[in-house]
A and B are shown apart, each in its own frame.
Chain A
Amino acid sequence: MRTVDPNWKRWWTRRITRRRLIRGTALGAAGLAAAAAVGCDDDGTPGQTPSPGQTPTQAPLEALSISNWPYYIDADTIADFQDEMGVSVSYTQDIGDNDEFFAKIREPLSRGQGIGRDIVVFTDWMAGRMIRLGYVQELNKANIPNWENMRADLKNVAFDTGRKYSLVWQSGLTGIGYNPKLTKRELKSVNDIFDPAFSGHVTMLTEMRDTIGLVMLGLGKDPATATVADAQAAVDKIQPFVDNGHIRAFTDNSYADDLARGDVWAAFAWSGDVVQLQLDNPDLVFLTPDEGMMLWSDNMMIPIGAEHKEEAEAFMNYVYDPAHQAQIEAYIQYIPPVEGTKEAIAEIDESLVDNPLIFPDAATLAQANVFKPLEEEEERQFNELFLALTG
Chain B
Amino acid sequence: MLGRLRPLIPYLLLAPGIAWLTVFFLFPMFTLARTSLQAGTLETGFRFVWEWRNYTDSLDRFQEQFVRSFRYAATATVLAFIIGYPLAYAIAFRAGRYKNALLFLVIMPFFTTYLIRTLAWQTILSDQGDVLSALSAIGAMDVLDALGISQNGRLLATPTAVVTAITYNFLPFMVLPIYVSLDRIDRRLVEAAQDLYGGPLRAFLRVVFPLSLPGVFAGSLLTFIPATGDFINAEILGSPKTRMIGNVIQSRFLEVSDYPWAAALSFILLAMILAAVLVYARLLGTEELTG
Contacts and interface: CB of A to CB of B under 8 A. Distances in A.
Given A200-B151, A376-B41, A248 B239 contact: yes
A249 interface: yes
Given A102-B257, A103-B254, A247 B240 contact: yes
Given A243-B241, A245-B241, A4 B253 contact: yes
Contact of A245 (B43, B151, B254): B151
Nearest to A98: B255
A2 B255 contact: no
B127 interface: yes
Nearest to A206: B255
Given A4-B250, A97-B255, A15 B241 contact: no
Nearest to B257: A103
Contact of A262 (B128, B226, B248, B255): B128
Nearest to A201: B127
A252 B238 CA distance: 15
A19 to B, nearest CB: 14
Given A1-B270, A8-B115, A248-B239, A103 B248 contact: no
B270 A263 contact: no
Given A8-B232, A99-B256, A391-B65, A263 B127 contact: yes
A106 B115 contact: no
A106 B257 contact: yes
B251 A390 contact: yes
A6 B43 contact: no
Nearest to B270: A1
Contacts of A129: 43
Main SS class of interface, A: helix
Interface in B245-263: 246-251, 253-257
Interface in B122-140: 122-123, 126-128
Chain B contact-residue range equals 35 or more
A247 B238 CA distance: 11
A250 B240 contact: yes
Contact of A100 (B122, B156, B229, B254): B254
Nearest to A182: B128
Interface residues of A, number: 41
Contact of A2 (B115, B152, B246): B246
B275 interface: no
A389 B29 contact: no
Contact of A248 (B157, B243, B249, B257): B157
B154 interface: yes
Nearest to A264: B127
B105 interface: no
B23 interface: no
Interface in A237-293: 242-243, 245, 247-250, 257, 261-263
A380 B40 CA distance: 12
Contacts of B229: 1-2
A133 B65 contact: no
B266 interface: yes
A22 interface: no
Interface in B33-61: 41-45
Interface of A: 1-2, 4, 6, 8-9, 11-12, 15, 97, 99-100, 102-103, 106, 110, 129, 132-133, 199-201, 206, 242-243, 245, 247-250, 257, 261-263, 376, 380, 383, 387, 389-391
